[in-house]
Amino acid sequence: MSKIDFNCRREVIGISSNITAEEYLAALIEVYRGYKVAVPHIDAEQEKSLLKDVLSSAIRFADSQQAMQAISEELFSCFQGNCSFEQQVELAQKQPPGILNAKMTAAAYVMKILK
């Protein structure tokens, strides 16, 4: 699998290493698709907010009760402060396609809302 580095271009042209919410969500989508992505630099509060939005939306896109339950538990953990991009990378390697599809669809949905 290929590795996508969203910060590489920014460093070359001298732009701040912080990325936009849309770029963060695009990186999440790539992780859910199974690609290796460099950890994006984003404000911690913005990261938690985006992950909460993605997870709460993903519940609606889940294809089974089991997937809904797993995403709900992940969202609960996120509300307790236990969520990060790195955690999403680890979970994406373990979670079944139904959960990953729901999260990927939710990330795209949140991206559309932000635009």
pLDDT in tens, the chain (115 residues): 444 444 433 333 233 458 999 999 999 999 999 999 998 899 999 999 999 999 999 999 999 999 999 999 999 999 999 999 999 999 999 999 999 999 999 999 999 999 8
Number of neighbours of residue 35 by Cβ within 10 angstroms: 14
Q: Residue 39 corresponds to which tokens in the numbers above?
A: 């950890």
Count of beta carbons in the 10 Å neighbourhood of residue 44? 9
How far lies 113's CA from each of 44, 63, 73, 107, in Å? 21, 22, 24, 10
Please tell me the total count of domains within the chain.
1
Place of tokens 């991009």: 85
pTM as predicted: 0.83
CA angle 57, 59, 63 (to 5 degrees): 125
Residue numbers of the domain that contains 31: 3-114
